[in-house]
C-alpha cells in the first residue's frame, strides 16, 4: 500500500514537471529484519492508518494549505501524510535504540499531531524525565517510566494490529465497523492513554523517598501527603457546564466527580461502586490520605488529573469529549485504584478480573503496562540488584499472544537467587502470568490467549555510548535556538518568545529536523575527542571549534542530513530551480523574480527534491559546507545556557 497523498503528489509531479518524487522513505521498508512488535506497529501506522487526519474536501491536491518549511507550500493532506511518516520514523528510531532521547521524538510527534504544540505541555514530560533521573536512586525500588510509556504505546499499537478479538471489542465499544476510522481513533486515544499514564510519578517519588527512609513504612512515622488539591480539581462554572453537556450530573463540580461518573457508567453494574463512592471514598482521598490505601501514593491519580487539566488549558473545555475522558479514566484505573479499591486482585474469592468490553482503553493499558517490563532502567537500590529482561518480542497467532522475554546470558548465574521478572516467569506457578490473569480477563473463552516464555541469550544488541552526559537534554530549546540561528544569525540574541514563534511556523518534519541535529551534537563531539558534562572535570575546556574540528564535523553533519532527508522520502534533483520550468508550468510570470523564487521553493517542497542531497561532501561549494558547520560554535553557548553543560577535550 502507498502513502496516499504522497503517491498522488508523485503522479502529479511526474506529469507536470517531469520529477519522479516523492518516493517511499528509504529506511523503513517493512521487509527489513524487524522484530515482531516493531513490524506490527509500523504496519499499523503505515497501512492501517492511511489518510490519518485528512480533510476530504482537500483530496484533489489543488490547495496549498499545508505547512512545510513555512505555511502555504504544499497540499494540506500531503502535510498530514508527512506527519504520519514522522511518527513512523520516530517509532523506528526508538525501537532500534531504546534511548530516552529517541523516546522524546515519539512524545513530540504525538503532542504536535493530536494535542497541541509541544511547548504548551512540555513541562509534564520533562518533569517526569528529570525526576526519575535525579531522584529515583534514593528509592529502594524504582524503574524507568519515561521510555517505558513509549514502549507501552508501541506495544499497544502492535497488539491492536495483530489481535482481532481486542480490535473487535474496541470497534464495538466505540460503535464503528470501519477499520480505518477505528484505527485512527485508537491511535489518538491510545496514545493519550499510554504515553501519559505515568506523568504523575513526580508526586509519588517524594512519598516513596520518605517512606524508604523509615524502612518502607508509614506506620507511626511521618509521611508525605498532598494538600491543596481542592482548588486544583474544582471546576469553574464554565467547565462544569461543559461536562454536564456530556451527560454527567454534577453536584460538587470537581474533576474527581467527572472521572467518577465516567468510571461508574462503565463499571458500576459489575463492581457495585457508585459515583459517590468512587469520588468521595477513593479519588478525593488519594492525595491526602495514603494511610487509607495501604500506605501507597497512587501516581495514576495525579497523572489523570494533571493531564485533564493540560487538555482543558490547551484545547479548551468545550472541545473535551467523552472519548478524552475515557483516556483519563483509563489512566486513573491502571494502577492501585482498580486493583485494590474497585476490586481486590489479591483476594480470589471477591476478585473479578477486568473485562475488555467494560472499558477497552483501560483493559489494554493494564495488559501492556504489565507486559512492558523489558529494557527498563533500574534506579532504585533493590531494583538494580534484580534480574530483568533486556529485550522482548511477541509472536502473534490469531488470538494467541506469546511474549518471549530475553535475559542476558552473562547474568544466568543469578537465576536461582535473584529476584525480578525472571523469577516470576519461571517459578512453578508462572507468577508473572497469574498476576496478569488476576487483573484482566485473559486465557478464557472469547478473550486473548497469553503465553509467557523466558530465555537466556547472548546479548548482541549494540549500545552506542559516548562520554557526553547530562541529566536531561532540553531538546526543544536546542532545536528552537538552532532554527533561530538560521533566521537571526549568531549575533542577534532573539528572545525566547521570538525563537519559539519562528519554530512554531515550521511543519512537524522541519521541527524534527532541528531536533535531530541537536541530538547528533554529542556524536559529533566524539569524532573530535570531546564531550560535554554538567560535572566539573579535570580536562581542557573547549570554548571554540577549530578549523580542523570543522573539517571533521562538516562531512558528518552533511551525511546525517542526507540520511534524514532520504528517510523522509526526499531525493536529488535540481529541476525545481529551473525558471523556464516554473514559467512553463504557470507557477509564476516571467517578469516576477520574487514570485519565481517563491514558486521554486514551493516546487522543491512538493516534489521533495533538493540539489544538495549528494553523498560527496567535497562536491559542495564553500557556502553550502558552511551551513553544516556554522551552528556548531553557537551550540557551545547554547549547551551551557540551557543545560549548564560545558565541553571538554578528552
Q: In what order do the strands lie in the sheet with 530-533?
A: 530-533, 646-649, 540-541
- Supply the pLDDT for residue 491: 52
DSSP 213: H
Question: Integer distance in angstroms from the first to the last C-alpha of the chain?
Answer: 49
C-alpha cell at 565: 532527508
- Give the per-residue SS3 of 359-382: CHHHHHHHHHHHHCCCCCCECCCC
Extents of the domains making up the chain: 386-464, 469-570+613-650
- Binned at pLDDT 50, 70 and 90, residue 497 comes out as confident
The pLDDT of residue 202 is 86
Give the three cell numbers for residue 122.
512540555
pLDDT tens digits, 174-184: 999 999 999 99
Distances (CA, A) of 419 to 322, 370, 425, 457: 42, 17, 11, 19
Q: Which of 72-76, 80-84, 457-461, 616-620 has the lowest mean pLDDT?
A: 457-461
Burial class of residue 557 in the structure, from the number of CB atoms within 10 Å of its CB (0-12 exposed, 13-18 middle, 19+ buried) = buried
Average pLDDT of the segment spanning 588-608: 92
The answer to whether 318 touches 361, Cβ cutoff 8 Å, is no
For residue 472, the model assigns a pLDDT of 44
According to DSSP, residue 113 is labeled I
The answer, yes or no, to whether residue 127 has pLDDT greater than 80, is: no
Q: What is the mean pLDDT of residues 17-31?
A: 75
pLDDT, tens digit (0-9, with 9 covering 90-100), for 188-219: 999 999 999 999 988 988 898 899 889 889 99
Q: What is the pLDDT of residues 511-547, one digit of tens each?
A: 999 999 988 888 899 999 998 887 888 999 988 899 9
User: Is the preceding peptide bond at 116 cis, omega within 30 degrees of 0?
Assistant: no
Strand, helix or coil for residue 289: coil
> CB of 649 within 8 A of CB of 539?
yes
Burial grade of 523 (CB within 10 A; 0-12, 13-18, 19 or more): middle
* Residue 126 clears pLDDT 80, i.e. is over it: no
Mean pLDDT value across the chain: 89
pLDDT at 380 over 60: no
The 10s digit of each residue's pLDDT in 548-592 is 999 999 999 999 999 999 999 999 999 999 999 999 888 888 889
pTM of the model: 0.94
Nearest C-alpha neighbor of 630 from the set 532, 533, 547, 513:
547
438 close to 353: Cβ distance less than 8 angstroms: yes
Is the CB of residue 485 less than 8 Å from the CB of residue 633? no
Predicted pLDDT at 140: 47
Q: How many CB atoms lie within 10 A of CB 74?
A: 26
Question: Is the predicted pLDDT of residue 293 greater than 50, yes or no?
Answer: yes
The answer to whether 483 and 517 are in contact (CB under 8 A) is no
DSSP-assigned letters across all residues of 304-360 = HHHHHHHHHHHH-GGG--HHHHHHHHHHHHTTHIIIIIIS-TT-TTT--PBPTTT-H
Q: Give me the mean pLDDT over the 434-461 stretch.
A: 92
Give the separation between CA 72 and CA 216, rounded to whole angstroms: 58
Residue pair 23/569 in contact (Cβ under 8 Å)? The answer is yes
In the block, which residue shows the cell 518533569? 127
pLDDT for the residue 469: 65
Mind listing the pLDDT tens digit for each residue in 326-360? 999 999 999 999 999 999 999 989 999 999 999 99
Reduced to 3 states (helix: H, G, I; strand: E, B; else coil), residue 251 is coil
* Helix boundaries (H) for 505-621: 508-527, 547-567, 579-584, 593-607
Whether residue 464 is predicted with pLDDT greater than 70 in this model: the reply is no
Confidence of residue 486 (pLDDT cuts 50, 70, 90): confident
Amino acid at each position: 500500500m502507498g502513502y496516499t497523498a504522497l503517491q498522488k503528489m508523485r503522479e502529479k509531479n511526474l506529469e507536470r514537471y517531469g520529477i519522479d518524487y516523492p518516493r517511499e522513505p528509504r529506511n523503513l521498508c517493512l521487509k527489513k529484519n524487524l522484530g515482531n512488535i516493531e513490524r506490527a506497529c509500523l504496519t499499523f501506522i503505515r497501512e492501517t492508518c492511511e489518510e490519518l487526519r485528512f480533510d476530504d474536501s482537500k483530496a484533489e491536491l489543488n490547495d496549498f494549505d499545508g505547512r512545510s518549511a513555512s505555511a502555504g507550500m504544499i497540499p494540506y493532506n500531503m502535510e498530514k501524510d508527512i506527519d504520519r511518516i514522522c511518527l513512523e520514523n520516530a517509532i523506528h528510531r526508538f525501537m532500534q535504540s531504546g534511548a530516552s532521547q529517541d523516546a522524546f521524538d515519539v512524545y513530540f510527534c504525538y503532542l504536535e499531531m493530536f494535542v497541541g504544540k509541544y511547548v504548551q505541555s512540555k513541562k509534564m514530560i520533562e518533569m517526569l524525565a528529570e525526576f526519575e533521573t535525579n531522584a529515583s536512586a534514593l528509592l529502594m525500588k524504582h524503574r524507568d517510566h519515561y521510555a517505558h510509556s513509549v514502549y507501552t504505546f508501541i506495544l499497544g499499537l502492535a497488539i491492536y494490529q495483530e489481535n482481532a478479538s481486542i480490535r473487535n471489542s474496541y470497534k464495538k465499544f466505540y460503535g464503528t465497523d470501519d477499520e480505518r476510522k477505528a484505527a485512527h481513533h485508537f491511535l489518538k486515544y491510545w496514545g493519550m492513554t499510554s504515553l501519559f499514564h505515568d506523568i504523575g510519578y513526580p508526586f509519588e517519588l517524594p512519598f516513596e523517598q520518605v517512606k524508604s527512609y523509615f524502612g518502607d513504612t508509614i506506620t507511626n512515622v511521618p509521611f508525605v501527603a498532598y494538600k491543596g488539591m481542592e482548588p486544583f480539581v474544582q471546576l469553574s462554572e464554565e467547565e462544569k457546564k461543559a461536562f454536564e453537556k456530556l451527560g454527567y450530573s454534577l453536584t460538587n463540580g470537581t474533576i474527581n466527580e467527572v472521572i467518577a461518573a465516567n468510571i461508574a457508567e462503565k463499571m458500576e453494574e459489575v463492581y457495585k461502586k457508585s459515583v459517590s463512592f468512587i469520588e468521595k471514598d477513593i479519588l478525593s482521598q488519594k492525595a491526602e490520605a495514603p494511610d487509607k490505601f495501604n500506605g501507597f501514593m497512587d501516581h495514576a491519580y495525579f497523572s489523570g488529573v494533571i493531564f485533564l487539566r493540560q487538555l482543558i488549558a490547551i484545547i479548551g473545555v468545550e472541545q473535551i469529549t467523552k472519548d478524552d475522558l475515557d483516556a483519563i479514566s483509563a489512566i486513573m484505573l491502571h494502577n492501585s485504584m482498580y486493583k485494590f479499591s474497585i476490586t481486590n486482585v489479591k483476594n480470589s474469592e471477591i476478585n473479578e478480573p477486568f473485562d475488555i468490553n467494560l472499558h477497552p482503553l483501560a483493559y489494554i493499558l493494564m495488559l501492556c503496562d504489565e507486559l512492558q517490563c523489558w529494557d527498563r532502567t533500574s534506579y532504585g537500590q533493590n531494583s538494580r540488584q534484580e534480574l530483568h529482561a533486556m529485550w522482548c518480542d511477541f509472536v502473534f497467532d490469531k488470538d494467541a499472544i506469546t511474549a518471549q522475554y530475553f535475559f542476558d546470558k552473562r547474568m544466568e548465574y543469578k537465576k536461582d537467587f535473584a529476584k525480578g521478572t525472571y523469577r516470576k516467569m519461571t517459578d512453578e506457578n508462572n507468577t508473572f502470568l497469574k498476576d496478569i490473569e488476576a487483573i484482566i480477563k485473559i486465557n478464557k473463552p472469547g478473550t486473548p490467549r497469553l503465553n509467557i516464555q523466558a530465555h537466556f541469550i547472548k546479548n548482541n544488541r549494540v549500545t552506542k555510548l559516548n562520554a557526553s552526559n547530562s541529566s536531561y537534554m532540553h531538546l526543544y530549546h536546542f532545536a528552537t535556538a538552532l532554527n533561530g540561528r538560521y533566521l537571526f544569525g549568531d549575533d542577534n540574541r532573539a528572545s525566547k518568545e521570538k525563537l519559539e514563534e519562528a519554530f512554531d511556523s515550521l511543519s512537524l518534519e522541519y521541527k524534527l529536523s532541528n531536533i535531530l541535529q541537536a541530538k547528533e551534537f554529542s556524536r559529533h563531539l566524539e569524532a573530535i575527542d570531546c564531550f560535554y558534562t554538567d560535572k566539573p572535570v579535570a580536562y581542557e575546556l573547549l570554548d571554540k571549534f577549530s578549523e580542523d574540528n570543522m573539517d571533521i564535523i562538516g562531512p558528518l553533519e552533511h551525511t546525517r542530513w542526507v540520511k534524514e532527508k532520504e528517510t523522509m522520502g526526499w531525493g536529488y534533483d535540481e529541476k525545481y530551480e529551473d525558471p523556464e520550468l516554473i514559467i512553463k508550468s504557470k507557477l509564476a510570470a516571467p517578469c516576477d523574480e520574487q514570485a519565481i523564487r517563491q514558486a521554486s521553493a514551493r516546487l522543491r517542497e512538493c516534489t521533495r527534491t533538493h540539489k544538495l542531497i549528494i553523498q560527496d561532501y567535497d562536491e559542495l561549494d564553500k557556502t553550502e559546507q558552511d551551513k553544516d558547520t556554522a551552528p556548531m560554535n553557537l551550540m557551545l553557548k547554547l549547551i551551557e545556557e540551557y543545560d549548564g553543560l560545558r565541553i571538554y577535550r578528552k
